[in-house]
Amino acid sequence: MIVLRPSEERGPADFGWLKARHSFSFGNYYDPRHMGFRALRVINEDRVAAGAGFPTHGHRDMEIVTYLLDGELEHKDSMGNGEVIRPGEVQAMTAGTGVLHSEFNPSESNPTHLLQIWLLPDRQGHTPRYDQKQFPRAEKLNRLRLIVSPDGADGSIFIHQDARLYATVLEAEKSVALDLAPKRHAWIQVARGEVALGELALRQGDGAAVSEETRVALKGLAPESEVLVFDLN
């Protein structure tokens, strides 16, 4: 069973400096039909204006993943981390018992485009932690590259949840597939471009929940498409 979450039906937010689309209920956007999918609680597509950003704020008991598409994002947190995230890099933070952080676009002229992802942890009360890694385009080109996992396999970033996140950059007519174990589920998020998921065409911003299937197969329909694939319990 595949349930499409069209891009244009996502919840909008416009604060001037931030323009966002929420796949699931978030902030001032509330829709009881879209509260998350399995352990996946948030997928926000954010566009942050030059010189703007999220001031220091707190989180608890959440696994937070940031996937940069364009521009830069400067991160600072109460654990003492201070990093700049660039396209191709992935940031993961365990909020656990509590962490304060800020995210800021350091550019004076260019906007930042990112996907902000939250997953529920396997339990509450983890020690906060931070990680950031580069995953080159070549490792994602026409293949599924594991970037987040519960065991750090293949150089992926560890999180406290039985969830695996893959990224792919698909050229036109190229295909990738993920086999799903029994009782596993998948979420597809198209970051840019257009892909075929079975008989469905998914465009930039579209998502799809996949259940009771044994395989997820994607084919590129645009010159280049970037897609995230979640394998969820």
Assign 232 a pLDDT band (cuts: 50, 70, 90).
Answer: very high
Global confidence as pTM: 0.96
Assign 153 a pLDDT band (cuts: 50, 70, 90).
Answer: very high
**C-alpha to C-alpha distances, 229 to 35, 94, 153, 215, nearest whole angstrom:** 19, 20, 16, 12
Chain segment 123-141, per-residue pLDDT in tens:
999 999 999 999 999 999 9
Chain segment 41-67, per-residue pLDDT in tens:
999 999 999 999 999 999 999 999 999
Q: How far apart are CA 192 and CA 142, in angstroms?
A: 15
pLDDT above 70 covers what percent of the chain?
100
Q: Yes or no: say if 166 and 157 are a contact pair by the CB < 8 Å rule.
A: no
pLDDT of amino acid 195: 98
**C-alpha to C-alpha distances, 189 to 57, 88, 229, 231, nearest whole angstrom:** 27, 16, 7, 12
Q: How far apart are CA 109 and CA 191, in angstroms?
A: 22
pLDDT above 90 covers what percent of the chain?
99
pLDDT of amino acid 40: 98
pLDDT of amino acid 65: 98
Average pLDDT of the chain to the nearest whole number: 97
Of 26, 27, 18, 22, the residue nearest 5 (C-alpha): 22
Going by the DSSP 8-state scheme, the letter that residue 33 receives in this structure is T
Please count the other Cβ atoms lying within 10 Å of the Cβ belonging to residue 147: 22
pLDDT of amino acid 11: 97
Chain segment 187-213, per-residue pLDDT in tens:
999 999 999 999 999 999 999 999 999
- Three-state SS at 140: helix
